[in-house]
Amino acid sequence: MRDKNVPISGPFIIEKALQFAKALGYDEYRESNGWLENFKRRYGIMAKVISGESKDVDDNDSENWITETLSKILKDYKPENVFNADETALFLQCLPQKTLTFKKEKCVGGKQSKFIIIRRGLQFALQ
């Protein structure tokens, strides 16, 4: 599931364990939070934050753009003509921000839901 960037949670693991137990003939099997914690510890599974679109932007490229290109663009403008625009979005029907994964595995998600409400704000750079 993680190779397809599907978030995995504790209840998901418990549900799969119940399915395997039933398939193997353990009809009386009951899970518990203690079982889940021991399972995660035994196999080195932990909760990690999913990095949204970390594959899409190279950090060095963005740093170079800010230090080189942006400074060249801004040098021709007066400070009162420089603005800052911020965008805040409320994502609806999103995937969870955390998943259970192996300790050394990198967590990379994909694009988030396109069903969003956006609020934009604009202000002068000197304020």
Apex CA 47: angle with CA 46 and CA 49, to 5°?
140
Q: What is the mean pLDDT of residues 27-38?
A: 84
Which helix (H) or strand (E) segment is 19 a member of? helix 10-23
Single pTM value for the model: 0.42
pLDDT > 80? residue 19: yes
Q: Percentage of residues in the chain with pLDDT exceeding 70?
A: 52
Q: Is the pLDDT of residue 112 over 50?
A: no
Phi/psi zone of residue 57: left (φ > 0), alpha (ψ -120 to 50 degrees), beta? beta
Res. 104: pLDDT tops 80 = no
pLDDT in tens, 53-76: 554 556 777 788 888 888 888 888
